[in-house]
A and B are shown apart, each in its own frame.
Chain A
Amino acid sequence: MEIEGNVNFSVDYSSISKTNEITVKIILLGDSAVGKSKLIERFLMDDYKPHQLSTYALTLFRYKTQVQEKSVSVDFWDTAGQERFESLHPSYYHQANCAVLIFDSVRKVTYKNLKKWYDELRQYRPEIPCLCAANKIDENFDATQKNFAFPTKNRLPFYYVSASDGTNVVKLFNDAISAAIAYRLNPTDVSDQIMDELETLN
């Protein structure tokens, strides 16, 4: 998938722009219907009209924010159904600075498939920070009392969220942005640091 054809999307996520604006790319991963699109919509509310790149089976949301007095331009990449084919195009992962891995807390199969998504991610991006979230906790509040082995085992920061009632959605994405920036500015393995920080917070 080349997106060079369109000036707007030919971003090199590894260079700092002239204006000193930091650009980061965050990708959403997980099975069909876990709520990836609803989560990003809840975070962005109605302010952002997505760029539908239907040819490439993805939807891109560009979000501008300030983090510690720096302008940051965040590109959220969401699939447009390509996850049905059990794997995503390599360009989806290309130059990603952070990944958010989501499962549906009412559907076990989506939890079991996390491993597949995580393995594919690590094949392309062995080091980038990855956050994990259990969505739809409005429908299964019991899930919030459970420890899930997958994120613990892979040392992924873990969130209980609901795109429907909004629980922890903004926190999840703000943490993803911070992690993406941290990785972007110091592209070593930052995931350990994030985990440590979260542990001290508890």
Chain B
Amino acid sequence: MASSERQWVASKTVGRVIHPRKIGLRLEPLSLILLYEDGVKVRKRSMPIRSLKPTADPRCRAEEFKLRHMTYLASVPAVVLTKLISIAQQVLIGLTIKEAIDKVTEHFTVDKERDLNAVSESELKRQKELMELTFLNNTVSPLDPRFVYDKQITFHRPIGPSDWDEEENDAN
């Protein structure tokens, strides 16, 4: 905790604003690689993941990691870090990188069939975090020159009925 506080002060002293652009995993040595902009140019930072155990809770490790590198990771959602750490863990237990990505991605995909009114609070929170990944990808921030507050698109007459209405014509 003390170290994160120190870094926070440091980041304020330096007065830089970090805009993360991309984050990825490197296996040798095990680390997360961040591409970020600091207002001047795109830089790369390597952050080692030390002594990761396959059985560790990836969510806890992600949160610790985020705290330790708060200056750089403040705006990176914890769920992104959790996903990368989970992939590293699968590789540690012997999966190929591709197998690990497929397996973990499946687990980190929004379950579209699920009635989220009927899940536990923690599961709802997890599903919302996964949804947030797409939300952030598609969002246009007010700082973006393309931002229009009252953005309107008129959609013309629909081409056809939604198949969501198929089964029951007389129900509803």
Q: Which residues of A are interface residues toward B (Cβ below 8 A)? A: 31-33, 38, 45, 81, 83-86, 106-109, 111-113, 115, 138-139, 143-150, 153, 160, 162-171, 202
Whether A168 and B152, one on each chain, are in contact in the complex, defined by CB atoms closer than 8 angstroms, is yes
Residues from chain A with a CB closer than 8 A to the CB of B160 are: 145-147
Whether B112 and A171, one on each chain, are in contact in the complex, defined by CB atoms closer than 8 angstroms, is no
Cα of A84 to Cα of B161 in the assembled complex, Å:
29
State whether the Cβ of B95 lies closer than 8 Å to any Cβ in chain A: no
Known contacts A113-B117, A149-B165, A166-B140: A160-B155 contact under CB 8 Å: yes
Looking at the assembled complex, report how far the CB atom of A43 sits from the nearest CB atom of chain B, in whole angstroms.
Answer: 9
> What is the count of residue pairs linking A and B with beta-carbon distances less than 8 angstroms?
102
Residues from chain B with a CB closer than 8 A to the CB of A145 are: 155, 158-160
Residues from chain A with a CB closer than 8 A to the CB of B118 are: 84
Whether A107 and B164, one on each chain, are in contact in the complex, defined by CB atoms closer than 8 angstroms, is no
Known contacts A107-B112, A148-B162, A170-B149: A84-B134 contact under CB 8 Å: no
Whether A162 and B149, one on each chain, are in contact in the complex, defined by CB atoms closer than 8 angstroms, is no
Known contacts A38-B135, A84-B124: A111-B164 contact under CB 8 Å: yes
B137-156 residues with Cβ-Cβ distance < 8 A to A are: 138-140, 142, 147-153, 155
Whether A148 and B165, one on each chain, are in contact in the complex, defined by CB atoms closer than 8 angstroms, is yes
Cα of A69 to Cα of B39 in the assembled complex, Å:
43
- Prevailing SS type, chain B contact patch: loop
Whether A86 and B117, one on each chain, are in contact in the complex, defined by CB atoms closer than 8 angstroms, is yes
Closest to A166 in B: B151
| 11 A–B contacts, CB within 8 A, in A order | A33-B116, A45-B149, A107-B116, A108-B113, A109-B114, A138-B134, A138-B138, A146-B162, A147-B158, A167-B153, A168-B151
Residues from chain B with a CB closer than 8 A to the CB of A84 are: 116-118, 121, 124
Whether B142 and A45, one on each chain, are in contact in the complex, defined by CB atoms closer than 8 angstroms, is yes
Q: Which residues of B are interface residues toward A (Cβ below 8 A)? A: 110, 112-118, 121, 124, 127-128, 131, 134-135, 138-140, 142, 147-153, 155, 157-162, 164-165, 172
Looking at the assembled complex, report how far the CB atom of B155 sits from the nearest CB atom of chain A, in whole angstroms.
Answer: 5
Top-9 shortest CB links A-B: A146-B162, A147-B158, A170-B150, A138-B138, A149-B165, A166-B151, A164-B138, A32-B116, A145-B159
Looking at the assembled complex, report how far the CB atom of B93 sits from the nearest CB atom of chain A, in whole angstroms.
Answer: 32
Whether B131 and A147, one on each chain, are in contact in the complex, defined by CB atoms closer than 8 angstroms, is no
Known contacts A147-B158, A149-B162: A83-B151 contact under CB 8 Å: no
Most buried by A among B110, B147, B152, B162: B162
Whether B116 and A166, one on each chain, are in contact in the complex, defined by CB atoms closer than 8 angstroms, is no
Can you name 12 extra interface pairs (CB under 8 A) apart from A84-B116, A115-B172?
A31-B115, A33-B124, A38-B135, A84-B117, A108-B112, A113-B115, A138-B134, A145-B160, A146-B162, A150-B165, A167-B151, A171-B150
Cα of A138 to Cα of B131 in the assembled complex, Å:
12
Looking at the assembled complex, report how far the CB atom of A102 sits from the nearest CB atom of chain B, in whole angstroms.
Answer: 13
Cα of A170 to Cα of B147 in the assembled complex, Å:
13
Closest to A107 in B: B112
Closest to A83 in B: B117
Cα of A149 to Cα of B149 in the assembled complex, Å:
30
Whether A112 and B164, one on each chain, are in contact in the complex, defined by CB atoms closer than 8 angstroms, is yes
Cα of A97 to Cα of B75 in the assembled complex, Å:
38
Residues from chain A with a CB closer than 8 A to the CB of B121 are: 81, 84
Most buried by B among A85, A138, A146, A150: A146
Whether A162 and B138, one on each chain, are in contact in the complex, defined by CB atoms closer than 8 angstroms, is yes
Closest to A148 in B: B162
Residues from chain A with a CB closer than 8 A to the CB of B124 are: 32-33, 84
